[in-house]
Amino acid sequence: MPLELYLDLHSQPCRSVLLFAKINKIPFEYKAVDLSTGEQYGEEFGKVSIIRKVPVLKDGSFILTESIAILQYLAAKHRTPDHWYPADLERRARVDEFLSWQHTNIRAHGSKVFWFRDVVPAVTGSQVPKEKMDAAVEELNASLKIFEDKFLQSRPFVIGDKICLADLVAIVEIMQPVGTGLDVFQGRPALSAWRDRVKKEIGVEIFDEAHKTIMNVNALAQTFESKGIPEFLKLKLQKMFN
């Protein structure tokens, strides 16, 4: 039975898993889960994961959630080139350091900006108050600065001359606010040059293909117009603003 990956390309961790599998030519079956209609809360997906989030990997009877664990599993199982997740203790620890940091920093802040600039207006028809939006963008800017000053410094990639899992996870997260029309690369030449190197290593075509959904700024609003707004999203927004 082929490896199955449950994905929705609105999701940054899904894009990292998809790209990693494609770059390393790992064969898999793409199982689409439509988050915008709440498919993750349906009965079928509940049989795959009670966490009800994507990505999910299913390898025979083995089911794995959490993108970082999935990337590490794929790297080990398919013996991908060492630079992705080096065997050397210190180099691996550097990759792990970023992978641990990103959850509550670049991912949390980029996601918040995405929700504020894209999801909230698409669901409610109104903009997030300016002071909340400015604060969210400030948090994102602070994370991007740490990414540049600590994790990247003057190196071509996070751990040196070659791309690793940290670069892959970083780029998909950073593209999330970019998809809302906020060009975070403007005024950041080092970050832009890194983005270009990462895109080249991944392959511009597969990178752009994976980001097509997120770069279509009006897509969510159009989906909600045609299919309605799922209940879980209304509840999430209530929690976010109360």
Ligand X SMILES: N[C@@H](CCC(=O)N[C@@H](CS)C(=O)NCC(=O)O)C(=O)O
Choice from 4, 34, 59, 66 touching ligand X (CB under 6 A):
66
105 binds ligand X (CB under 6 A): no
Length of the chain: 242
Min dist CB 25 to ligand X, Å, is 22
Examine residue 110 and tell whether it contacts ligand X (CB under 6 A). no
Q: How far is CA 127 from CA 38, 115, 237, in A?
A: 23, 11, 13
Touching ligand X, residues 68-97 (CB under 6 A): 68
In whole angstroms, what is the distance from residue 94 CA to residue 170 CA?
Answer: 14
Helix (H) / strand (E) containing 32: strand 29-32
Strands laid side by side in the 29-32 sheet: 29-32, 4-7, 56-59, 62-65
Q: What is the DSSP string of 107-140?
A: IHHHHHHHIIIIIHHHHHSSPPPHHHHHHHHHHH
User: Is residue 123 near ligand X by the rule CB under 6 A?
Assistant: no
Which range, of 65-73, 82-90, 151-159, 205-213, touches ligand X by CB under 6 A? 65-73
SS3 6: strand
The reply on whether position 35 binds ligand X by CB under 6 A is yes
Q: Looking at beta carbons only, is 200 or 227 nearer to ligand X?
A: 227
Told to check if 54 binds ligand X by CB under 6 A, we report: yes
Among 7, 55, 110, 140, binds ligand X (CB under 6 A): 55
Q: Which is nearer to ligand X, 69 or 204 (CB)?
A: 69
Q: Which of 19, 23, 37, 40 binds ligand X (CB under 6 A)?
A: 40
Determine the size of the site formed for ligand X (CB under 6 A). Answer: 13
The answer to whether residue 34 forms part of the interface with ligand X (CB under 6 A) is no
- Output the DSSP codes for 42-91: SHHHHHH-TT--S-EEEETTEEEESHHHHHHHHHHHTT--GGGS-SSHHH
Could you say which of 36, 67, 102, 105 contacts ligand X (CB under 6 A)? 67
Choose, by CB under 6 A, the member of 6, 7, 13, 118 that binds ligand X.
Answer: 13
* Residue closer to ligand X, measured from CB, 73 or 232: 232
Report the alpha-carbon distance of residue 90 to residue 112 in Å, rounded. 32
Tokens encoding 32? 């689409």
> Whole-angstrom Cα distance, residue 162 to residue 42?
41
Q: Is residue 11 close enough to count as binding ligand X by CB under 6 A?
A: yes
230 belongs to the binding site for ligand X (CB under 6 A): no
Q: Which of 15, 53, 58, 112 binds ligand X (CB under 6 A)?
A: 53
What residue ranges bind ligand X (CB under 6 A)?
11-13, 35, 40, 52-55, 66-68, 232
